[in-house]
């Protein structure tokens, strides 16, 4: 933390920014990175759910006894969003 404050103190006058402005900018960049982590994993999950869901409906229509395994296969992509949430929380902390 001390290194970041020292670097901010040295760079701030050169960039025409105060230390508080630099710290606020860093917080904003963390928030943007966290939102990108969540949004990309959510989009990827949506695509996976779409593909698996359409195949699951077709398989269940032909063979109703595969409903249990198909249900498990449709839930698996949700872990991608959980990983994105964990990454976003690690970025913010």
Please write the tens of the pLDDT for every residue from 17-66.
788 888 888 888 999 999 999 999 999 999 999 999 999 999 999 999 99
pTM for the structure as a whole: 0.70
77 within domain boundaries: yes
Expressed as residue numbers, the domain containing 56 is 38-93
Structural domain includes residue 62: yes
Q: How many domains, in total, are found in the chain?
A: 1
Position 90 in a domain: yes
Query: By 3-state DSSP, what share of the chain in percent is helix, strand and coil, each rounded to 5?
Result: 90, 0, 10
**Per-residue confidence (pLDDT) for residue 25, from 0 to 100:** 85
Burial 23-55 (b: 16+ CB within 10 A, else e): eeeeeeeeeeebeebbeebeeebeeebeebeee
Per-residue pLDDT tens digits for 54-83: 999 999 999 999 999 999 999 999 999 999
Residue 14 lies in a domain: no
Nearest 5°: the CA angle 52, 53, 58 is 100
On whether residue 32 sits in a domain, the answer given is no
């Amino acid at each position: 933390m001390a290194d970041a404050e020292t670097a901010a103190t040295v760079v701030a006058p050169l960039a025409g920014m105060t230390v508080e402005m630099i710290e606020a900018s860093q917080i904003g960049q963390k928030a943007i990175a966290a939102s990108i982590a969540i949004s990309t994993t959510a989009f990827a999950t949506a695509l996976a759910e779409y593909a698996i869901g359409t195949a699951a409906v077709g398989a269940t229509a032909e063979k109703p006894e595969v409903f249990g395994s198909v249900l498990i296969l449709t839930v698996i992509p949700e872990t991608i969003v959980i990983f994105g949430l964990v990454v976003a929380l690690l970025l913010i902390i």
